[in-house]
Structure 1
Amino acid sequence: MTLLEVDGLSAGYGRAEVLHGVTLSVAAKQIVAIVGPNGAGKTTLMHAVMGLLPRQGSVMFMGQKAGDAGWLVRHGVVLVPETRALFTDMSVEDNLELGAFARWRQGARDLRSSMADVFAVFPRLAERRRQLAGTLSGGERQMLALGRALMAQPRLLLLDEPSLGLAPKVVGDIFRVIAGLRDRGIAILIVEQNARAALQLADYGYVLEMGRVALHGPCVALAEDARVVETYLGRRRETG
């Protein structure tokens, strides 16, 4: 089942068009990676899909024409931006509760059980539930950003540079959690500068260059593509 269908998406800032006719899709329980150089339009793509920028082209979610960001959140799409956008002067617990605000407005009253589920995924957040978000480490902030998104019980997560600024060991921990979210039935569209990690994590990938899809295919195939290896993964060490 296809959750997200993007067809001919163009978007930008003012008169400066950044994306030029991008087409992609994300199926249920699938991780799709967007990789490419700085300035390729990866974050613009996420913002346009989420309805945070004026856009041209078609964005469909579960067979319906996608509306603005509020519409998408109500229908189960949540963006975790690269800035993480936490409320630093609020506690971990309060930040998590805000993640369920849209569901609460729709009548959900299961916030405690939802928070317990988040703490099961991120035990460190449970230990710091009363701590101010602004005092957390970089890795803990990323955990909180992901946990807050999970409070919305999303069908699709949009993750923008989840490894940004994190130590390699923490990156490994975060990516293992993301893989586990797919096992819980959550589809994921991930923008990631670390192309090697993204292609190892995801099922399908798109290479974005200068606002256009330059290559796409199963990640196993992309990881073996000579152009991808040369440009994004580094030269292979010759043997023999």
Structure 2
Amino acid sequence: MSALLSVSDVHVAYGKVEAVRSVSLDVSENEIVTIIGANGAGKTTLLNAIMGILPLKGHVTFAGENVVALEIEDRVAAGLSLVTEHRELFGTMSVEDNLQLGAFRIAKAVAAKSFERVYTLFPRLKERRKQLAGTLSGGEQQMLAMGRALMGAPRLLMLDEPSLGLAPIIVADIFRTIGELRSAGVSVLLVEQNAQAALQIADRAYVMELGEFILNGQAKVIATNERVAASYLGFQHG
């Protein structure tokens, strides 16, 4: 089966400094793939390049189409979406209006179904739909950022550090929802410093260091790797 997202030999540079080198990965339909690594490893840079925010050298195909030359809006229209770690909400607009912005490219009938889907995944957003986004808690803002991305009915949702700065109980809610997305037919590419939580929910994992993948495979296998355990999971094996 061909991959939904295929990234091949990608390089991303800031001026003369190469932040991502010779990176290749793929994400299949109904799959959660995570990229783990330390701060500054190049994880966010890679997601931004896939989304078209940063220029890259290499190949990126999505649903069989070469998307390297596409504008960000066209990648969104094709079914590729990114939730950045900064969330980028409109704080002076209501929850409902923020969600509506995520549906600007789709038909009203589809948008109505998207609202229903988002409110089912995030009941708290429905309760606060008239509330200003800027007055929400950090966890609620993360839910809103994810919900807004889902309004466009993406086939692949890329998430950059969704647990950042959130209380453990909220992190558990966010990761449970990510699992529900896979069941609903949305593939996920997850960048996450909380490696333990990411490896528990993912099907496959890539470990990134200094702009390169040093390891990849089934998430359960990666979680038992001694180097990964010592560096990212906070304990040593046996």
Query: What TM-score, normalized to structure 2?
Result: 0.96
Q: Which residue is equivalent to 2:202? A: 202
Q: Distance in 2 between the 1:197 and 1:77 partners?
A: 24
Q: Which residue is equivalent to 2:145? A: 145
- Amino acid of the residue matched to residue 112 of structure 1? A
What is the count of residue pairs matched by the alignment? 235
Q: Which residue is equivalent to 1:101? A: 104
Q: Residue 91 and residue 57 in structure 1: after superposition, are their counterparts in 2 closer, same or farther (change >3 A)?
A: same
Offset from partner CA, 1:8-48 (integer Å, 9 cap, x none): 01012223220001000000000000000110001000000
Q: Distance in 2 between the 1:87 and 1:201 partners?
A: 30
1:92 aligns with 2:105: no
RMSD (Å), alpha carbons = 1.2
Q: Residue 237 and residue 229 in structure 1: after superposition, are their counterparts in 2 closer, same or farther (change >3 A)?
A: closer
Q: Which residue is equivalent to 2:36? A: 35
**Structure 2: unaligned runs, 5 residues or longer:** none
Q: Distance in 1 between the 2:113 and 2:154 partners?
A: 15
Q: Which residue is equivalent to 2:54? A: 53
Q: Distance in 2 between the 1:92 and 1:221 partners?
A: 40
Q: Which residue is equivalent to 1:164? A: 164
SS of the residue 1:110 aligns to: helix
Identity %: 53
- Map residues 105-184 of structure 1 onto 2, 5 A cutoff: 107-184=107-184
Alpha-carbon deviation of 1:236? 3.9
Offset from partner CA, 1:100-130 (integer Å, 9 cap, x none): 1122xxx454323321221111111111000
SS of the residue 2:4 aligns to: strand
Equivalent pair of 1:12/1:44 in contact (CA under 8 Å): no
Alpha-carbon deviation of 1:90? 0.3
Q: Which residue is equivalent to 2:189? A: 189
Equivalent pair of 2:226/2:236 in contact (CA under 8 Å): no
Q: Which residue is equivalent to 2:74? A: 71
